[in-house]
Amino acid sequence: MEKQQPALQENLIFHPHNVMLFLLLFGLSLLFLALTISYSYIRVTMDVPPVQLPWLFLLNTVVLLGSSYTMLRAKRCYIDDDTHGYQQNLRATIGLSLLFMGMQGGAWYWLFQINSVTMASSTTAGFLYVLSIAHFAHVLAGLPFLISFYLVAKKRMVDPVTVLVYFSDPEKRLKLRLLTIYWHFLDVLWIYLVLFLGVNWLI
């Protein structure tokens, strides 16, 4: 049964966890905005040709969208007290995140080894690496929290009593919501980067 009311602290805009997350997301937004503006400025003023966008970047967009969907499903299963669905969707999110990271490695290999595009090849090539590596780093940073959620759930969901205690924990509900927001942010950020780099390559 769906929980009637979220915990009070989950609704508090100025709860420390909320504040820390939104400061982080604001900072990341400014960082990537500054990098993309710098990329555009250098292209216009120095007439530097763009780098071809690896096709794996486009495929990775689908993978990240899938992980965002399974993360959303995990949150829904948590609200509905669906033990199996909750663990299954957390596992799927972890798997898709690892797939994304592996495919990013393949994209960089395609650039570096096959096309001989290095960070020193051009300013735009350097920016492509910096933008994609910075995004990769933040996916990697979120992965331990995701794995921790899954392992704790698997350990504690062993009988009806522990399941009830787990699903009734307002602190976990809050942290799961914040982790879901973070994952959606990474998804939106990646789509922005792919569109930005793709448009720059076309023009």
Mapping DSSP onto H, E and C, the string for 91-118 reads HHHHHHHHHHHHHHHHHHHHHHHHCCCC
Predicted local confidence at residue 87, as pLDDT: 92
Asked if pLDDT for residue 146 goes beyond 70, the answer is yes
- Per-residue confidence (pLDDT) for residue 154, from 0 to 100: 86
pLDDT classification of 196: cutoffs 50, 70, 90: very high
Q: What letter does residue 13 receive in the DSSP assignment?
A: T
pLDDT for position 19? 83
Superfamily of domain 11-202: Cytochrome c oxidase, subunit III, four-helix bundle (1.20.120.80)
Q: What is the pTM of this model?
A: 0.86
- Residue 13: pLDDT band by 50, 70, 90 thresholds? low
Structure-token pair, residue 87: 């663990």
pLDDT greater than 50 at residue 138 = yes
pLDDT at 14: 63
Q: What is the mean pLDDT of residues 70-89?
A: 92
Q: Where are the alpha helices (DSSP H) in the chain?
A: 8-11, 16-46, 55-79, 83-109, 123-156, 160-167, 170-202
Residue 94: predicted pLDDT: 96
Q: In whole angstroms, what is the distance from residue 76 CA to residue 86 CA?
A: 8
Do the Cβ atoms of 7 and 170 come closer than 8 Å?
yes
pLDDT at residue 191 above 90? yes
Nearest to 110 by CA among 60, 69, 171, 155: 60
DSSP state of 80: T
Domain boundaries, the chain: 11-202
